[in-house]
Chain A
């Protein structure tokens, strides 16, 4: 096992995102250097010095295509998450809920180029805690730079794929803060959070010199770095921001379960990129992971539905959607380290456990509005610990111990720093919406829009007629308002 050939199931447990480790290093023997120490400052060697390695000096087209497609799949998960959450809130804050996720695509994409990629995947500064600044602004990375030095996929493909994880992780936290935070404050919070929490933790877990990677913690696609990290961060933010007005008293029904199911379905679809794509190669590991993803997710949906039927008497649609997401979360750390029956077990446990965990908030009194803790933290911890026991290669108490160290150190770090960042935002610009803004709805308060035009319901004919006759008039008015009368539209959009 010292140097397993890539593209074989033996490479499975290399279970790591770091390309150099994935292509050249088995899990138990992490390499003491990183991809960039060999790649970034050299042109790609088109002809190897040794003849038999000649063909390996080229870009791997199949792997590159697969990773680029996977990046696009993972990108879709952020809008999918927006719908999943958006359907669960009340009518007055749907747009805000969508925007809290969607804006992450803007913020994190820019930060990733500036310093995110360098901090997360640059050469280690020495202690396994953070990347150095050598690749700030993608410095030294060209289209010819490959992940494995003389072989592999372009670093740009790897960086794009990893960017999508950095986008969705802060977005995951938004569900916990539904209906009640200032949009400007949220944007500032995720800017700080990805910089100080996500980028370092991704380095710990996935960079070949990260301290958790060297500890041999298995986190194939982000159980620790993404789900535990976001789940505990959301809890910290909730404790700073406080409960929604009327929590536990007023009914807060989901306004559109079809949107929730649409979102869950698209998440499921995108998650094939998230999980299988983390193999960073179009190979057996990726196929095995795709299968485990499907199986665990199906089992988790059944687990959630079974718990609900026994406990609450009905098979709910929201339960099916939530169970599927819990399963996706729980199988994420395993990768192909478990077999299909391990995946079924992980799914069933996660589904049932998470459907119980979502009731904790009422007992303990924290308003984790859309159950980010109950699904992502609990599902992430369950998956991360279970793979320690169930791993087909090396699973057992020792690995369980490593998994626990990984999970709990990230929990401790993320909770502490997230709490401090939320406090910082709250003390400076104020995190929470005013009472009036919250009661009237954050959609109108911060976005000057409403999601649905109820005046049109039941009067389609009239609406159509007026649209036809008044279109020219309206456009003229709009043009005028834009130039001479802008004060009427100049509402206070954000505090």
Chain B
């Protein structure tokens, strides 16, 4: 099993969620995040005082998947989150040892 983590622009969340739903993903986790990449931050001005804002707001989407689906799901996320502008985000995939469904106690791929 794999854990697919995507950091995307806040405005792209709906698109990614819809794309994953039509692909057939049953569940996902979304959380607010902030950080920076190559884009770095931006500058804000308050009464003439300039502040460099290093950490830009982003959304983190996490999806658990079977090994065979991981690449496809990654592609779905990337194409839905893509705008072509700097700051589109990143997607990464890591192996997962086990998964348990809390309600039933099912383990492994059955719990997905």
A319 within 8 A of B: yes
Say yes or no: B46 contacts A362, CB within 8 Å: no
A308 and B48 form a contact (CB under 8 A): yes
One of A122-130, A309-317, A388-396 at the interface = A309-317
Query: What is the size category of the interface that chain B forms with chain A?
Result: 10 to 19
By a CB distance below 8 angstroms, the chain A residues around B44 are 253
Partner of B47, one of A313, A319, A457, A458: A319
* Contact residue among B31, B32, B49 (Cβ-Cβ distance under 8 Å from A362): B49
Scan residues 44-70 of chain B and give those whose CB is less than 8 A from a CB of chain A. Answer: 44-53
Cβ-defined contact, B32 with A371, below 8 A: no
Closest 9 CB pairs of A and B: A251-B51, A358-B47, A359-B48, A312-B45, A318-B46, A312-B48, A314-B45, A253-B51, A316-B45
Task: Give chain B's interface residues, CB within 8 Å of chain A.
Answer: 30-32, 44-53
**Chain B residues with CB below 8 A from A358, complex form:** 47-48
- Secondary structure at chain A's binding surface: helix, strand, loop or mixed? loop
Contact B31 A316 (CB under 8 A): no
In the complex the two chains form, is A311's CB within 8 Å of B32's CB? no
Query: Measured between alpha carbons, how far is A371 from B53 in the docked complex, in Å?
Result: 22
- Give the residues in chain B near A78, CB-CB below 8 Å: none
- Contact for A313 among B30, B45, B51, CB less than 8 A: B45
The secondary structure that dominates the B interface is: strand
**Bound Cα distance from A308 to B46, whole angstroms:** 10
Interface residues of A, count at CB 8 A: 20
A332 at the interface (CB under 8 A from B): no
Q: Which residues of A are at the interface with B, using a C-beta cutoff of 8 A?
A: 251, 253-254, 308, 311-314, 316, 318-319, 322, 355, 358-359, 362, 371, 374, 457-458
- Residues in A whose Cβ lies below 8 Å from that of B51: 251, 253
Given contacts A457-B32, A458-B32, contact A355 B49 (CB under 8 A): no
Closest to A370 in B: B47
B50 proximity list for chain A (CB < 8 A): 312
**What are 13 inter-chain pairs, A to B, with CB distance below 8 A?**
A251-B52, A253-B46, A253-B51, A308-B45, A308-B48, A312-B48, A319-B47, A355-B48, A359-B48, A362-B49, A374-B47, A458-B30, A458-B31
Extra contacts, 8 of them, besides A316-B46, A358-B48 (Cβ < 8 A), are A253-B46, A311-B48, A316-B45, A316-B47, A318-B46, A318-B47, A319-B47, A362-B49
Q: Which residues of B contact A322 (CB under 8 A)?
A: 47
A374 to chain B, nearest CB (A): 8
Q: How far, in whole Å, are A254 and B53 apart by their CA atoms in the complex? A: 13
Write out the residue numbers on chain B whose beta carbons fall within 8 Å of the beta carbon of A308: 45, 48
A97 to B50, CA, bound (A): 23
Q: Inside 8 A of A355's CB, which chain B residues have their CB?
A: 47-48
Q: Which residues of B contact A313 (CB under 8 A)?
A: 45
Residues of B within 8 A of A318 (CB): 46-47
Give the complex CA separation of A313 and B48 in angstroms: 10
Bound: A316/B47 CA distance, A: 8
CB contacts (< 8 Å) of A311 on chain B: these are 48
Residue of A nearest to B50 (CB): A312
Tell me the complex Cα distance, A318–B45, Å. Answer: 9
Q: Which residues of A contact B32 (CB under 8 A)?
A: 457-458
Q: Which of B32, B47, B51 has the most CB of A within 10 A?
A: B47
Whether the Cβ atoms of A371 and B47 lie closer than 8 Å is yes
**Contacting residues, chain B, for A253 (C-beta < 8 A):** 44, 46, 51
Check if B48 sits within 8 Å of A254, measured CB to CB.
Answer: no
